A and B are shown apart, each in its own frame.
Chain A
Amino acid sequence: MELIVTQHAHDEAVRQYALRLLSNGYDVTARVEGWFNAPEYVYGYRPDIVAKKGDQVLIVEIKKSETDWPKISALQRFVSEKENSKVLILNPGDVITHTSTSANGQWR
């Protein structure tokens, strides 16, 4: 089935994942206007998040639609050429925290 993500859901996932990486001690650039510096372009595409810790580089792309594949392909090419780098492709649903509590009292 074709993936279609709203702009809101995408942006929310980018925000939340960028903050998660910040908690984990990364230096973060992200496409969150007004709060983070934007990441540099990679082969003509701007990733959603680029996080660095020491010599490790983590590129994160939150999926929006099936038309993302050229960008994802470019990011994968970049990490294959650069040591200590990794790319994570995530669906917004995997990232967004819901504050409604589950049976054990934890946020989902």
Chain B
Amino acid sequence: MASGDNKDRFLIALAKFFGLSPRKPNPLAAVQVCNDWFLAELVAPILGDPDVVILNLERFNQLMLACGHLIASKHFFDFFFGKARTVSDFEDAVERFRTKAMWLYGNFRFAYKQLSQCDSQQFEELIARTTLRKDLEKEFRGRSPFLDEIQAIPEGDLGFLGYISSQALDDYAFGLDVLKQLVISWDEREKLLQGLGAAKQKKISEILKEKGSQFPSAGINGVELTDVKAIVETLDPDLQALKDRQASAQQVGMRNTQRYLTLPYLDVYVATSMRTPEDYVTQHAFVMQLFQNENVRDLNLRYFDPTASYDPDRIKKGLIECLMLRRAAITIYNAGAEDTMGKDSELAATLAQGKPVIVYVQSEPAFVDVLGRSKPVSMDQRAKTFNVDHPLGLQICTRTGVAHGIIVVRTVDQCARMLRKVLLHDLSFSIKHEGGNFKLEEKETQSVLRVVTDDPLLSHSFWTYFRHTEPETDI
């Protein structure tokens, strides 16, 4: 005779199988379509002592009918419940089903309908989407190494590829051009500086001061033509050398862009913000460390490194990045210390395409200074924000309606490890029920990758207007 405790555990697991939030006294009340005595009659022979479960396809399908669900195929039953011999086994089987249901459809009831009704070949194909991809691992390993295809740019010159970071060089050039024009038309110096305006003269003064030359921030009294000419002749070679390096870096970046545009496949998009030359250097170092890490090195992954690509036109560069984002199977988001529109939209766009995002929030240094902020940014706090309540942390796949979350990692090593696991579908999950939502949580990072609400009206309305189409292919 089954103990009341085991019966409760069995009924609670069954309620979870149906996507219900189990409530006392009858966890199945929301779906049960038979009388209570009949449900008790069905359950009694399933549960033996001490916690034995005796379940076959016929009994399982009687339970499904009694709970208003379609009967399941043999392959469905065998795959999930065929080896359930104890209540614990049954609970594990339910968790397996729920994990696959959340992964593939973001909905328990629809997932049951699809998985329990399809033929065995379709069933195997659907399940295969969620299981270890041994074949893909072999395919990755068989590829040639990637780095040879993309030309390296000297680390110190990477900053020249950025629109914002290279603006400093343009400003320097403008400052010197003003001085050159003063030399050419010295008699018109007042007119030129007045036309330029006080704010711009001050800015030029600051730029030249950084280069070790003095030029007044207002007016030009006391300055001789020879002084201005001397500044130009001193700084112009320096500027020309910088321009040559910029031109060379940009040329390599443009060549790399053509290579990226024609890659036969692209696995990873690396999203980040690159505003200063330092951003370029740190981002490039991150990319190099990541893809040379022992956890992924053998996979010969193709990745888009935005620090190695350039197009002089911002609109084209934007289109190129959109295409790379679309082609890549996964996005790695290097969070840095602050949110920026560019990389945040790339994160959201990836999730909206139903593809995974790994968010890397550096653990060291633990605090990072940000221009314009009085206090340094705590990276632990930033990681927590991404893990718990970042507004972009959960996005709906526009194709399937399934809510996708992000994986938050704290070290390059962990990032590489999770990258491998995500690509090869080697992740481990647990399901949490919190605040009226079921959450599919990745075990190592405790990142939420899928959610299902237990609110019946919201769920019904959502799936009425956001019709199910096809299952998800990736986590």
Residues of A near any B CB (own CB < 8 A): 6-8, 11-12, 15-16, 19-20, 22-28, 32-35, 97, 99, 107
Determine whether the beta carbon of B236 is less than 8 Å from that of A7: no
Nearest residue, chain A, Cβ from B312: A7
Nearest residue, chain B, Cβ from A32: B174
In angstroms, Cα B174 to Cα A11, docked, is: 10
Closest 9 CB pairs of A and B: A22-B195, A19-B181, A23-B188, A23-B192, A23-B185, A99-B236, A15-B177, A7-B312, A97-B180
A-B contact pairs, 27 of them (CB 8 A): A6-B247, A7-B312, A8-B246, A12-B173, A12-B177, A15-B173, A15-B174, A15-B177, A16-B181, A19-B192, A20-B184, A20-B185, A22-B195, A22-B196, A23-B184, A26-B195, A27-B195, A32-B174, A34-B167, A34-B171, A35-B171, A97-B180, A97-B181, A97-B184, A99-B236, A107-B180, A107-B183
Determine whether the beta carbon of B200 is less than 8 Å from that of A99: no
In angstroms, Cα B197 to Cα A22, docked, is: 11
B429 to chain A, nearest CB (A): 49
Q: Which residues of B contact A15 (CB under 8 A)?
A: 173-174, 177
Q: A8-B247, A16-B181, A99-B232 are in contact. Are A25 and B174 (CB under 8 A)?
A: no
Task: Report if B65 contacts A (CB, 8 A).
Answer: no
B168 to chain A, nearest CB (A): 10
Q: Which residues of A contact B426 (CB under 8 A)?
A: none
Nearest residue, chain A, Cβ from B175: A35
Task: Report if B178 contacts A (CB, 8 A).
Answer: yes
In angstroms, Cα B176 to Cα A19, docked, is: 11
B245 to chain A, nearest CB (A): 12
Task: Report if B170 contacts A (CB, 8 A).
Answer: yes
Residues of B near any A CB (own CB < 8 A): 167, 170-171, 173-174, 177-178, 180-181, 183-185, 188, 191-192, 195-196, 200, 232-233, 236, 243, 246-247, 312
Q: Which residues of B contact A6 (CB under 8 A)?
A: 247
Q: Which residues of B contact A8 (CB under 8 A)?
A: 243, 246-247
In angstroms, Cα B246 to Cα A11, docked, is: 14
Determine whether the beta carbon of A22 is less than 8 Å from that of B192: yes
A26 to chain B, nearest CB (A): 8
Q: Which residues of B contact A97 (CB under 8 A)?
A: 180-181, 184
In angstroms, Cα B177 to Cα A11, docked, is: 11
Nearest residue, chain A, Cβ from B167: A34
Nearest residue, chain B, Cβ from A19: B181
In angstroms, Cα B246 to Cα A35, docked, is: 21
Partner of A23, one of B167, B173, B181, B246: B181
Q: Which residues of B contact A20 (CB under 8 A)?
A: 181, 184-185
Partner of B178, one of A19, A26, A27, A28: A19
B189 to chain A, nearest CB (A): 8
Partner of B180, one of A24, A33, A99: A99
In angstroms, Cα B171 to Cα A52, docked, is: 24
Q: A6-B247, A8-B243, A15-B173 are in contact. Are A35 and B181 (CB under 8 A)?
A: no
